[in-house]
C-alpha cells in the first residue's frame, strides 16, 4: 500500500479512528461498570454493535484448570438457541459460532 495515495491515507485514517473509538468505548465501560460480569457483558455488547453481529461470546481461560470457560453469551438472533454452555463453548472454540 502506497502511503502517498490520498485514498490509502484516508482509509488508514478511517480505520485508525474506528480502532481508537473502540478502545475508548471499552475503556469507558471498564471505568463505569459496577462489577466484572457487567463489564464483560457490556464489552461484548459494544463489540456486537461495532461489528454489526448477531452473536457474541466471551470465553476466558480458567486459572484453576487451564480450561476455556464460557463467561458471556449475547445472542440477538437466537442462533445458539437452547444449546448447553458446553456445546456453545465447543462450537465457539471451533469457530463455528
pLDDT at 44: 95
Residues 42 and 80 in one domain: yes
Residues 86 and 55 in one domain: yes
pLDDT at 70: 81
The torsion angles phi and psi of 56, rounded to 5 degrees, stand at -140, 135
pLDDT at 84: 73
Q: Please give the residue range of the domain that contains residue 21.
A: 1-32
The secondary element (H helix, E strand) that includes residue 60 is strand 55-61
Residues near 20 by Cβ (< 8 Å), separated by ≥ 6? none
Number of domains into which the chain is organized: 2
Residues 44 and 86 in one domain: yes
Residues 41 and 26 in one domain: no
Residues 61 and 41 in one domain: yes
Positions of the chain with pLDDT under 50:
none
Residues 66 and 43 in one domain: yes
Residues near 88 by Cβ (< 8 Å), separated by ≥ 6? 57, 70, 73, 80, 97
Amino acid at each position: 500500500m502506497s502511503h502517498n495515495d490520498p485514498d490509502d491515507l484516508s482509509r488508514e485514517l478511517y480505520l485508525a479512528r474506528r480502532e481508537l473509538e473502540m478502545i475508548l468505548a471499552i475503556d469507558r465501560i471498564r471505568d463505569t461498570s459496577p462489577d466484572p460480569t457487567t463489564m464483560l457483558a457490556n464489552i461484548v455488547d459494544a463489540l456486537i454493535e461495532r461489528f454489526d453481529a448477531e452473536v457474541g461470546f466471551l470465553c476466558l481461560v480458567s486459572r484453576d484448570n487451564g480450561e476455556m470457560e464460557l463467561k458471556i453469551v449475547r445472542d440477538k438472533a437466537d442462533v445458539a438457541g437452547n444449546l448447553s454452555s458446553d456445546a456453545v463453548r465447543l462450537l465457539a472454540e471451533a469457530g463455528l459460532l
